[in-house]
Amino acid sequence: MLSSFDDFPIHQTSRPVARTSTSDLNHYDRYFFNGYTRDTRIFFAAAMGLYPNRHVADASFSVVVDGGTADARQINVHSSRRAPTDRAEANRVGPIEVRVLEPLGTHRLTVDAPEHGLRCDLTMVRRSAPIEEPPFFHQVGHRVVMDSTRMTQFGQWEGWVEVDGERVDLGPGETLGSRDRSWGVRPVGERAPVGAPVADPQFFWLWAPINFEGFSTHFDVNEHFDGRRWHESGFVTLAPADGQVPEPAEAMRAVDYRLTWRPGTRAAASFEVDLVPFSGEPSTIVLEPLFDFHMLGIGYTHPEWGHGVWKGESEVAGDRWDLPVADPTAPHHVHVQTVVTATTSGAVGVHEGLGVLEQLAIGRHDPSGLSGLFDGSPPPGA
């Protein structure tokens, strides 16, 4: 079936754009954004996904108010629809819309869901070049479970967020953040039988995009249960001067980290990152956790609003909870982005910054002491 994008020279296969290169049900195409005020009184995140072979599109928007205080709460809105055939119509799902104002440069995010306590009109302007991470490829037995491309980019936000009728204006330079774009194949939609078991369930993922004055740093790893890595990357990228095109990010030769868990959880109590360049001295970044944002709020591991799940022709719902949650090792709560302060040392000098440490640890991970499927970390010395 032809669509409007077929009129542009963008084809990667002999088929129309609406036809994916694979019929795999887990094919997806996705936006993710986050933002945080420098005083961390507001944290927000959004996700929008298209699953052409499932004929589903969905989106979520979530805000944490007063994170790290006794009044902390997370408010979310979720929406889902039948996927449009024309990709030109794929930027809106219910009350949530993402518009690319300048490719790889400026994006606008709007949400109009007052019945669920959330509205916003936010514009993100780049403060880095896009970072193309190494390809993600992961296989369990003979089955490919991940085969995707992902990019990360840093930015700053302006606009406003309204929570339960209270509007917060976000002025220039007040709100930083990051975004990613990924596409390919990874597990989405309703769970399906996979045949005979070939490995214990396990997934270990750490991602730390951090904003500093004048530059940003990127770190990620995926590891097997014994610590062997099947994906890793690190970058340092400079923020451009006003109106200038950002320089390409500097890739690191190697990355490493040191981690201790909060007892009884799968979330970090302390975290340090080493970025080792191809030449020169390494840099170390010490992260100090402030509070957790639960990725459940934008669909990840959500029991009702999981990514790519068929909900109906057009559905919208909301939910909310107080922070911290009562059971951080519940399966739907283990995936978090912890808002962190950051301090650098080494080659980049001494700087203070702000960002997130994303953590998803399912199953055994021997180097950090995790066992079981969702068991919390034992107390020190146990």
Convert 134-151 into a string of H (helix), E (strand) and C (coil).
Answer: CCEEEEECCEEEEEEEEE
Alpha-helical runs (H) found in 87-164: none
pTM: 0.96
Is residue 157 a contact partner of residue 244, using CB atoms and an 8 Å limit?
no
- The candidate with the shortest Cα–Cα distance to 211, out of 351, 66, 47, is 351
Amino acid present at 308: G
E strand or H helix that includes residue 91: none
Cα–Cα distance between 325 and 346 in angstroms, integer?
36
For each of the chain's 382 residues, which pLDDT tens digit applies?
Answer: 788 888 788 888 888 888 888 899 999 999 999 999 999 999 999 999 999 999 999 999 999 999 999 999 999 999 999 999 899 999 999 999 999 999 999 999 999 999 999 999 999 999 999 999 999 999 999 889 999 999 999 999 999 999 999 999 999 999 999 999 999 999 999 988 888 988 889 999 999 999 999 999 999 999 999 999 999 999 999 999 887 889 999 999 999 999 999 999 999 999 999 999 999 999 999 999 999 999 999 999 999 999 999 999 999 999 999 999 999 999 999 999 999 999 999 999 999 999 999 999 999 999 999 999 999 998 876 6
The mean predicted confidence, pLDDT, of the chain is 95
pLDDT recorded at residue 9: 85
Cα–Cα distance between 323 and 64 in angstroms, integer?
9
pLDDT recorded at residue 10: 84
Task: Tell me, rounded to whole angstroms, the distance of Cα 11 from its chain centroid.
Answer: 27
Domains of the chain: 28-187+200-368 (2.40.370.10)
Is residue 309 a contact partner of residue 302, using CB atoms and an 8 Å limit?
no
What values do phi and psi take at 324, rounded to 5?
-70, 160
